[in-house]
């Protein structure tokens, strides 16, 4: 999956021999006291300083942080963004997941690779690595590209020099919907500053919260009916209550901003456009459970969001919205920001803890659950970005008003990421219960071309397919469940009738094979076998018994995998098997 | 232990068990056999092979018996259709991935569950050449089923040596030293714990391996002695 090209300079051997360990040493001296939890930050620093992680640097990190060298190597090997071999000075990621594939991402990848080769031949002074990558959260701007982890457009008018120098314009997500509460300050083309957020009533919920006991805050969140927006839909108030009551200190709040479900970009928009709304939710969560420290774990590929959140945290500290005795109260809380490094599985909550702790992102066995044994083994609340963004709204409106939106069983507003063959891909905010048809055909402007609607993948790679029969299904937890669908993280990827869904299924199978952590057998081998079979089917080499093979693999992964990744890795394929079994059968010629 | 016993049913049999013990142990005490692969009495249970999964009434997914503890009123089925499908498929996928020729327990298990070793005929196998980089043991990762026991005994489960960890991830995962260094250049103390817990012959004493290769005990004595002195290297063996 990796195509690497090096310009004649700087040569690899020169880099190796002139390795300056003082760069990493001075970085390590600042964080050495943290020990193993500083490992990912140290590896990011090494990758930035040297362009890869040379063996002597890895050893230096191991010795300084007092981590076994073999473990450090294990961690480097786990994360896609860390390299043990030199890579180009400029790294270009091209997405290869379904929404971008529809828009020609494979062609863009081939052309960029060819352009790099050409530049090399002509002696153009560049050092570029072009890599294919899983979903980059820019599905509304398909085909998505990242240049040095910042989004770029694949527009034909952009020149090679502009692309490599990254002077192209920043893609802007289209934000719309029947409601504009969570997205009130999103889609404006700029980040909402602290000043602007305060001017629009920002942090009034926090001010209010600081005057009432934490139990009341938890009661209000419980009464609101808020459930997690990351995909698992666990009741947020219950989670908070359980962590608040758990024995053991310190307690932690973690914001899960490791958004990587193919087709999802809602958390990226919330972070980039209105970071304080999320921070306010996180501070309130910390107050409710009695946490003094929080971690904000952002996907490695989301450099923009990382920079925005970092700036917002600085702003909040300056305004005493973070730090000691927040706004004159006796409540103190601060946030440390962590970057992931290219591992979808780290969106799984316990894998995310392992990652913060400086380990490979292997999910843990549950129980025990995070509310009692979470980060560093302590009681922890971990919430998704969108979940936390709902919190200030709930406390401003009150649970009763909040519940007037949506349905009885799925109250509140919901963000949907619409992409694929629709006229207006973007981020849409609607009340729960909105029919799928309204979202695609009214808000999204309907199909992009003449070809009619064939299917929509709801919930991302871990999701299920909706057919034309499902268009009137209300987008609520109960409505979708009744139709045999899942809400997941709120992804809707639309396919018109000209699309070969086998290609989509092949890409999803490849995605899971590449992102499986490899810990439990069903997922480690099942994702690989599933990928091999889908690859054959795509190439027309269907074998008798393939349907049964896919079903056995699929149900074994669903039933027996250790974490949510494996348990949903066959979801889309099993769903397609029930809707369109003919896709998996050998083509018969008459 | 004066806590009241927990009452549960396993395969229709009423069982009384001490609170806190695993379903695996409770079943064993009741004379019900649940198969295991990665589980080892002296290693931390990681519940990763999932061969020991059982069906528990009310649970959404199957439950790994090696770590799940008994609960009062629990109803457990250790051989339901769902359980058998998972076990059979995992075994079939294992056969398609690695060389199980020296794993008799897994071979027997495959027979019991009717697993077809040829179920995935075109699968990409993990074919790797044996690593012969030290005088004490051979690492033949084409036979490695990634049960993690060697990594665990090298670390906190026994030796605190930390010579090995992982490289890659997913299906590409392998047991590895720091930057694939030869074993003598690592923290390995050649205690042999890893060889002792390996269930598939992926780790093997060098002597045993050489005997299999047709070397006489005398030739082996000569070879390993000189290797220990560091006078001869890998090339000699190949010659």
Q: Are residues A98 and A153 in the same domain?
A: yes
B contacts of A365 (beta carbons < 8 Å)? 46-47, 64, 67
Task: Give me the domain span that covers residue A538.
Answer: 501-584
Residue A581 has pLDDT above 90, yes or no: yes
Q: Are residues A247 and A160 in the same domain?
A: no
Residue that terminates a domain, selected from A402, A427, A458:
A402
How many domains does one find in chain A? 5
At A333, is the secondary structure helix, strand, or coil?
strand
A contacts of B177 (beta carbons < 8 Å)? 70, 73
Q: Could you say which of B86, B92, B166 has the minimum Cβ distance to residue A560? A: B86
Q: Could you say which of A69, A524, A553 has the minimum Cβ distance to residue B178? A: A69
Inter-CA distances, A473 with A384, A477, A558, A576, Å = 25, 11, 25, 18
Within chain B, which residues score under 50 in pLDDT? Answer: 231-232, 238
**Cα four-point dihedral sign A282, A286, A292, A297:** negative
- Domain for residue A141, yes or no? yes
The whole-angstrom distance between A374's CA and the closest CA on chain B is 17
CATH code: domain of residue A96: 3.40.30.10
The per-residue pLDDT for A163 is 79
Domains of chain B in sequence order: 6-79 (3.10.20.740), 137-238 (3.30.70.20)
The whole-angstrom distance between A274's CA and the closest CA on chain B is 35
Residues 6+ apart with CB under 8 A from A469: none
Q: Are residues A387 and A284 in the same domain?
A: yes
Residue that terminates a domain, selected from A444, A463, A496:
A496
Higher pLDDT, A170 or B73: B73
Q: Are residues A439 and A511 in the same domain?
A: no
Angle formed at CA A138 by CA A132 and CA A142, multiple of 5 degrees: 75
A contacts of B61 (beta carbons < 8 Å)? 558-561, 567
- Domain for residue A543, yes or no? yes
Q: Are residues A110 and A199 in the same domain?
A: no
- Domain for residue A84, yes or no? no
The whole-angstrom separation of Cα B131 and Cα B164 is 14
pLDDT band at A9 (very low <50, low <70, confident <90, very high): very low
CATH code: domain of residue A224: 3.40.50.11540
- Domain for residue A589, yes or no? no
The whole-angstrom separation of Cα A360 and Cα A362 is 6
CATH code: domain of residue A445: 3.10.20.600
Whether residue A379 contacts residue A246, with contact meaning beta carbons closer than 8 Å, is answered with yes
CATH code: domain of residue A527: 1.20.1440.230
Dihedral over alpha carbons A392, A397, A398, A404 (to 10 degrees): -120
- Long-range contacts of the stretch B23-27 (C-beta < 8 A, 24+): B23/B54, B23/B56, B23/B63, B23/B65, B23/B68, B23/B69, B23/B70, B23/B74, B23/B76, B24/B52, B24/B65, B24/B66, B26/B70, B27/B54, B27/B65, B27/B76, B27/B78
Mutation to test the A interface, candidates B46, B50, B119, most A Cβ within 10 Å: B50
Q: Are residues A270 and A308 in the same domain?
A: yes
Residue A161 has pLDDT above 60, yes or no: yes
Angle formed at CA A520 by CA B104 and CA A252, multiple of 5 degrees: 145
Give me the percent of chain A exceeding a pLDDT of 70: 95
Q: Are residues A234 and A359 in the same domain?
A: yes
Residue A365 has pLDDT above 80, yes or no: yes
Query: CB contact, 8 Å: B47 with chain A?
Result: yes
- Domain for residue A213, yes or no? yes
Report the first-to-last Cα separation within chain B, whole angstroms. 63
Check CB contact under 8 Å for A70 and B61: no
Q: Are residues A238 and A326 in the same domain?
A: yes
- Domain for residue A408, yes or no? no
Check CB contact under 8 Å for B173 and A555: no
Check CB contact under 8 Å for B48 and A514: no
Please state the φ and ψ torsions of residue B93, each to the nearest 5 degrees. -70, -35
Mutation to test the B interface, candidates A521, A541, A553, A562, most B Cβ within 10 Å: A521
Query: CB contact, 8 Å: B178 with chain A?
Result: yes
The per-residue pLDDT for A90 is 87
Q: Which of A220, A236, A229, A223 is nearest to A270 (CA)?
A: A229
Q: Mind listing the pLDDT tens digit for each residue in A419-438?
A: 999 999 999 999 999 999 99
Residue A384 has pLDDT above 70, yes or no: yes
SS (H, E, C) A220-234: HHHHHCCECCCCCCC
**ipTM exceeding the 0.90 mark:** yes
- Domain for residue A136, yes or no? yes
Q: Are residues A328 and A245 in the same domain?
A: yes
What average pLDDT does this structure show over A47-61? 96
Please indicate, yes or no, whether the overall pTM of this predicted structure exceeds 0.90: yes
Cα B35 to the chain's mean position, in Å? 13
Q: Where are the alpha helices (DSSP H) in B30-113?
A: 81-97, 104-112
A563: its two tokens:
């974490």
Q: Mind listing the pLDDT tens digit for each residue in A73-131?
A: 999 999 999 999 988 888 899 999 999 999 999 999 998 888 888 877 887 777 888 99
Q: Are residues A112 and A261 in the same domain?
A: no
The per-residue pLDDT for A353 is 98
Residue that terminates a domain, selected from A78, A111, A137:
A78
The whole-angstrom distance between A535's CA and the closest CA on chain B is 11
A136: its two tokens:
């980059």
The 10 Å Cβ neighbour count of residue B62 is 26
Q: Are residues A249 and A236 in the same domain?
A: yes
Q: Are residues A143 and A229 in the same domain?
A: no
- Domain for residue A85, yes or no? no
How many interface pairs between A and B have CB atoms less than 8 angstroms apart?
150
Give me the percent of chain A exceeding a pLDDT of 90: 85
């Amino acid at each position: 999956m990796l195509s690497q090209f090096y310009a004649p300079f700087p040569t690899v051997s020169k880099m190796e021999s002139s390795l300056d360990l003082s760069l990493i040493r001075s970085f390590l001296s600042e964080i050495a006291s943290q020990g193993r939890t500083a490992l990912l930050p140290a590896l990011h620093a090494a990758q930035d300083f040297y362009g890869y992680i040379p063996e002597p640097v890895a050893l230096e990190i191991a010795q300084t942080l007092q981590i076994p060298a073999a473990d450090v190597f294990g961690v480097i090997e786990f994360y896609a963004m860390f390299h043990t071999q030199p890579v180009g000075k400029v790294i270009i990621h091209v997405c290869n997941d379904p929404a971008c594939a529809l828009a020609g991402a494979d062609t863009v990848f081939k052309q960029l690779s060819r352009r790099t080769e050409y530049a090399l031949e002509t002696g153009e002074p560049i050092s570029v690595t072009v890599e294919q990558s899983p979903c980059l959260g820019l599905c509304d701007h398909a085909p998505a590209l990242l240049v040095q982890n910042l989004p770029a457009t694949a527009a034909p008018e952009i020149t090679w020099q502009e692309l490599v120098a990254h002077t192209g314009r920043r893609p802007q997500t289209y934000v719309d919907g029947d409601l504009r509460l969570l997205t009130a300050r999103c889609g404006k083309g700029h980040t909402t500053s602290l000043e602007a957020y305060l001017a629009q009533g920002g942090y009034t919920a926090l001010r209010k919260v600081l005057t009432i006991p934490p139990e009341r805050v938890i009661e209000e969140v419980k009464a609101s009916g808020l459930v997690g927006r990351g995909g698992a839909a666990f009741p947020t108030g219950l989670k908070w209550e359980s962590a608040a009551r758990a024995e053991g200190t310190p307690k932690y709040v973690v914001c899960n901003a490791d958004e990587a479900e193919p087709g999802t970009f809602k958390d990226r928009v919330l972070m980039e456009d209105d970071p304080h709304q999320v921070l306010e939710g996180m501070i309130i969560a910390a107050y409710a459970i009695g946490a003094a420290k929080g971690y904000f774990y952002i996907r490695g590929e989301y450099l923009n969001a990382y920079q925005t959140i970092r700036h917002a945290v600085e702003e909040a500290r300056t305004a005493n919205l973070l730090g000691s005795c927040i706004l004159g109260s006796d409540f103190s809380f601060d946030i440390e920001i962590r970057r992931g490094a290219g591992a979808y599985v780290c969106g799984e909550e316990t894998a995310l803890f392992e990652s913060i702790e400086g380990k490979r992102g292997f999910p843990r066995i549950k129980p025990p659950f995070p509310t009692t044994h979470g980060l560093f083994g302590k009681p922890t609340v971990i919430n998704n970005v969108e979940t936390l963004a709902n919190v200030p709204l709930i406390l401003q409106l009150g649970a009763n008003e909040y519940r007037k939106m949506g349905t009885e069983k799925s109250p509140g507003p919901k963000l949907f990421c619409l992409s694929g063959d629709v006229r207006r891909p973007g981020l849409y905010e609607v009340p729960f219960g909105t029919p799928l048809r309204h979202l695609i055909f009214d808000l999204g402007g309907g199909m992009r071309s003449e070809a009619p609607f064939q299917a929509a993948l709801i919930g991302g790679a871990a999701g299920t397919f909706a057919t034309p029969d499902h268009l009137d299904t209300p987008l609520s937890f109960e409505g979708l469940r009744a139709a045999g669908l899942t809400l997941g993280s709120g992804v809707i990827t639309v396919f018109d009738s000209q699309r070969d869904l086998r290609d989509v299924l092949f890409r999803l199978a490849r995605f899971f094979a590449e992102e499986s952590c490899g810990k439990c057998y069903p997922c480690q081998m099942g994702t690989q076998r599933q990928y091999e079979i889908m690859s054959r089917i795509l190439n027309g080499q269907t074998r008798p018994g393939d349907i049964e093979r896919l079903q056995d693999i699929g149900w074994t992964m669903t039933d027996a995998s250790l974490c949510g990744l494996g348990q949903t890795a066959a979801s889309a394929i099993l769903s397609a098997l029930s809707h369109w079994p003919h896709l998996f059968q050998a083509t018969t010629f008459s | 232990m004066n806590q009241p016993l927990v009452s549960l049913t396993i395969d229709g049999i009423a069982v009384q068990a001490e609170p806190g013990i695993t379903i695996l142990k409770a079943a064993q005490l009741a004379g019900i056999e649940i198969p295991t692969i990665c589980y080892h009495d002296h290693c931390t249970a990681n519940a990763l092979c999932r061969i020991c999964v059982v069906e528990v009434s009310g649970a959404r997914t199957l439950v790994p018996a090696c770590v799940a503890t008994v609960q009062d009123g629990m109803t457990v089925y250790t051989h339901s259709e769902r359980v058998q499908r998972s076990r059979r498929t995992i075994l079939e996928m294992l056969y398609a991935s690695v060389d199980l020729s020296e794993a008799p327990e897994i071979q027997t298990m495959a027979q019991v569950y009717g697993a077809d070793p040829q179920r995935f005929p075109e699968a990409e196998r993990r074919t790797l050449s044996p690593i012969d980089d030290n005088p004490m043991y051979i690492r033949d990762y084409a036979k490695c089923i990634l049960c993690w026991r060697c990594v665990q005994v090298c670390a906190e489960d026994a030796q605190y040596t930390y010579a090995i960890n992982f490289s890659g991830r997913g299906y590409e995962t392998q047991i590895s030293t720091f930057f694939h260094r030869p074993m003598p250049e690592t923290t390995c103390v050649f205690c042999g714990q890893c060889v002792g817990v390996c269930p598939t012959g992926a780790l093997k004493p060098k002597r045993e391996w050489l005997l299999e290769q047709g070397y006489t005990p005398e030739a082996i004595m000569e070879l390993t002695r000189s290797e220990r002195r560091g006078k001869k290297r890998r090339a000699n063996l190949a010659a």
